[in-house]
Each structure stands twice: as C-alpha cells, then as structure tokens.
C-alpha cells in the first residue's frame, strides 16, 4: 500500500505558520483524533484506500500522513485546521500531552480517550498536530529549554502516557523526562494516563503479585535515570544532559521525576480505594484490603504520617469485622508494627510484633512464610532495642526454618543470615559472624 495521502484541501488556502521563536498555544479537541483516523479527508492514500493505522507508531503517522498533508503549506496540522475553519482547532490548549513517539498511535489515542472519558472535548496540545513537523528538527535545544518550558507553564496541566505501566518507555526517554521536569518546575498539574488495560494491570500487580505493593512500584521507579535515557538523536541527548548538568544537575532532575512518579503511584491507588469505598462501603473486606495496600504504598515511600492513620483504622476495622485471627488482620498488624519500628516507636511496635508472631504460629503454623516474616521482624526490633539476648534465638530459629523450607540459597534465607551475622557482630561474637558471612 502506498503511503502518500491525497486530500481535498483547497490549493488557495491562506495558512498562517507560527513564529519559530514561540510555541503555538493552539490545540485540537481530543474528539478530533477519532475523526483523524476514520475520515477519508485526512487519511486516504493515492490508491484510494484508507491508510492503515494498525501497528503504526506516532513517528510513522507523522511521516506517512501529517507531513504529507501539510507539505504544500509547510505548516502544522493545527495551522491547516485553523485555515479550514475546522471546529477541532482551538486557540488555546488545556493540556500538554507527553508521550513516546515509539508508541503505537492507536494505543495512544485509546489511552487518552479513556483518561478523558468524562471530558471528550478537552483541548490537547499534541505535538504531532501542534508542532510544525517540517521545522521541528531545526529547533535548537535553547528553544526547547526556554520557549518550550514557558509554554508548558501556560498550559498548566501535563498528562504523561505510560505503557506498559511497569516498564514505561517515557521514563527511558530524555525528552519525556525533560518535559516532566519542566512540568514540575512550572508548577503544573501532573497526571499519568495508562488506559483501562494498564490501570487494571497496575491494580492487579499491587494487590496480587508475589512482591509487596511497595516493592512492585519501587522496582518500576528504580529505572529513572536521565543519564541512561535514550533520544531519537544522540545530539539531543548530549544537549539535554549538558544543559541539565549546568543548571539543576542530573541528580536533582532524577529526584524530581522520581518524586512526581511516586506521588502518581499513590494517587492512582487512592482513586481505586475511594472507588471501593463508594461501591462496597468502608467495612467490606475488599475495601479494607485496599486500605492496607494504600498504607503499604505510603509506608514504602517513607510517608509515615499518611501511612499510620490508615494502618490504625484498617487494623481496628479488621479486628472488629474479620477477627484477630484473619490473615488480612495479621498482615495489617505486621505492617503497623514495622511502621512503628521505622518511626522509632519501639514501645508501640513490640507488643504488636509479639502478638502477630504468636497468632501467626497458632493459626498459620511455624513454617508458614508469614510466620517466618513475623519472626524475622521481631528479631530486627529486638536488635534495634539492644535486646540482643532476645533477638538471637529468634534469628537462629528463623534461619534454621528458612534453610529447611526455602533452601540455603533463597534470598530470604540469605537476608536472615546477614541479619544474624550483624547481630553477632554487635554482640562482639566476631568468629560466629565471620563464619556466617563466609557462607552468604
């Protein structure tokens, strides 16, 4: 199939192209994206066949459709819409869309439509349409670093498209990280769009994965490092890194991006929790489980002041509704105890850890993974309190059970071995510590 596009656009149109020294503030109604795909005016090729968007990236659509449509006037698609008096064009965009051009174009549209399902006519600044693609490669980095940054401030709202949620391309692209940083520096409202599929996968990973909610999200966020990110042109990457190094610094930019994304993780799951409260009520087991997961996410980010009241409320409700012996109750009890330890509230942590371990042994058995976790956590607390004589037998028992059940090379076994070695070192039992270390 040919890639050239033939459209019925008057040859005498008066098209205004924007001044290169500014960023055009105009945008398109989100609803236009569906027309762009389906209306032959925009996508019929010279063979008379509709352009096939399936499998095409935003880069493909730019080269195959947008540049061809606008070639005669050397303008942006927005400029063309304006000249045609098309109602899709608006003089001022509401939202800046940040995305990776490697994404399948149809997926990008589907995610945006899902994200703005309550506002389908939102005016978006979508670079494919709003930038003059015949000039975009001519812009120097200074233009992006100053003029472009000011434009983001005017939009006041940035939405970044992330997929797949657990290994998102934008977090590995220099321009996307830079756009995110600009949004932060300009104090813009920041949101992430994942689409319905991505949202469900995120919730499932937080609630049903082998790792804790905090571990799942922290692993994804650990990929953020602008120095390792890619750019379409190596020159762009070099300019971005050089400019960032001379201004905010790579470490600070990474920190800002990480902070924004950590906030996003909380925001997404908080919405899910509120959704369940609205549908199921506060006392439903699924809602309580969601409350616990939200507390875990806050806890994993060191936001103890937000995590503590959630843990306390959740534990009280679970004890009253599910009973003290329910696995969900024990999970919240352990979580709150660990939180208290992290806060240095040892007197509050100890009775919870002791109770949790006793109940776990009685209900789930000594060999259950949750029991071993409780045993290890109580030993950690005793060590932090300087109660070495109480910590040692717990570590020894826990290590023996983990070796027998999980094997000597399992990460959990090795972690307990390391903890016991550190305890022996604190006790001055250097030979025993050295012997364990030799086997790790």
163: CB partners within 8 A, 6+ apart: 103, 107, 111, 169, 194, 195, 198
> Where does 47-193 have alpha helices with state H?
58-61, 67-70, 77-83, 105-115, 127-130, 141-142, 149-155, 174-185
Residue 173 is inside which H or E element, if any? none
Is domain 281-364 given the CATH code 1.25.40.10 in the classification? yes
pLDDT at position 214 is 76
Look at residue 245 in the predicted model and tell me its pLDDT: 79
Rounded to whole angstroms, how far apart are CA atoms 342 and 303? Answer: 11
- Of 60, 101, 65, nearest to 233 by C-alpha is 101
Q: How far is CA 112 from CA 242, 399, 416, 427, in A?
A: 33, 50, 46, 59
Write down the pLDDT at residue 48: 46
pLDDT score, position 223: 76
By C-alpha distance, which of 310, 264, 262 is closest to 287?
A: 310
The predicted pLDDT at position 3 comes to: 42
* pLDDT under 50: residue ranges of the chain: 1-7, 44-48
What would the pLDDT profile of 280-325 be if each residue is shown by its tens digit?
999 999 999 999 999 999 998 999 999 999 999 999 999 999 999 9
pLDDT for 74:
87
pTM over 0.85? The answer is no
Q: How far apart are CA 37 and CA 48, in angstroms?
A: 15
Fold agreement between 281-364 and 365-440 = yes
Question: Residue 77 corresponds to which tokens in the numbers above?
Answer: 């698609």
Where do the domains of the chain lie? Answer: 27-265, 281-364, 365-440
Question: Tell me: domain 365-440, CATH 2.40.50.140, correct?
Answer: no
The reported pLDDT for the residue numbered 13 is 63
């Amino acid at each position: 199939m040919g890639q050239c596009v033939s459209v019925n656009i008057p040859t005498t149109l008066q098209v205004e192209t924007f001044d290169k020294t500014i960023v055009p503030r105009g945008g398109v109604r989100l609803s236009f994206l569906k027309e762009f795909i389906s209306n032959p005016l925009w996508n019929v090729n010279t063979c008379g066949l509709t352009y096939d968007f399936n499998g095409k990236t935003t880069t493909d659509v730019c080269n195959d459709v947008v540049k061809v449509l606008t070639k005669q006037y050397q303008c942006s698609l927005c400029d063309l819409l304006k000249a045609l008096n098309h109602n899709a064009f608006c003089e001022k965009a509401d939202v800046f869309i940040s995305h990776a051009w490697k994404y399948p174009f149809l997926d990008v549209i589907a995610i945006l439509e899902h994200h703005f399902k309550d506002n389908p006519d939102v005016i978006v600044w979508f670079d494919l349409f709003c930038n003059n693609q015949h000039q975009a490669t001519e812009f120097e980095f200074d233009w992006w670093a100053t003029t472009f940054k000011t434009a983001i401030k005017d939009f006041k709202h940035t939405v970044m498209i992330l997929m797949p949620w657990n290994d998102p391309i934008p977090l590995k692209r220099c321009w996307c990280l830079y756009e995110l940083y600009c949004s932060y520096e300009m104090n813009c409202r920041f949101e992430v769009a994942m689409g319905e599929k991505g949202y469900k996968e995120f919730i499932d990973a937080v609630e049903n994965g082998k790792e804790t909610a905090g571990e799942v999200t922290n692993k994804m966020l650990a990929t953020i490092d602008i120095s390792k990110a890619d750019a379409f042109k190596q020159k762009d990457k070099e300019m971005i890194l050089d400019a960032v190094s001379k201004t905010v610094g790579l470490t600070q930019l990474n920190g800002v991006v990480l902070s924004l994304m950590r906030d996003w993780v909380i925001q997404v799951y908080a919405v899910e929790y509120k959704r369940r409260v609205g549908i199921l009520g506060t006392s439903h087991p699924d809602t309580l489980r969601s409350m616990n997961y939200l507390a875990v996410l806050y806890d994993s980010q060191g936001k103890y002041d937000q995590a503590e009241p959630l843990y306390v409320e959740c534990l009280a409700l679970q004890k009253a509704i599910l009973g003290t012996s329910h696995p969900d109750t024990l999970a919240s009890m352990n979580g709150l105890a660990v939180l208290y330890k992290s806060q240095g509230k040892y007197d509050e942590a100890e009775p919870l850890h002791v109770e949790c371990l006793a109940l776990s042994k009685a209900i789930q058995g000594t060999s259950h993974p949750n029991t071993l976790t409780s045993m290890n956590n109580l030993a950690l607390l005793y060590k932090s309190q300087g109660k070495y004589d109480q910590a040692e037998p717990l570590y020894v028992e826990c290590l023996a059970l983990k070796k027998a059940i999980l094997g000597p090379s399992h990460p959990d076994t090795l972690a307990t071995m390391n903890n016991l070695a550190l305890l022996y070192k604190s006790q001055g039992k250097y030979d025993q510590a050295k012997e364990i270390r030799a086997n790790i």
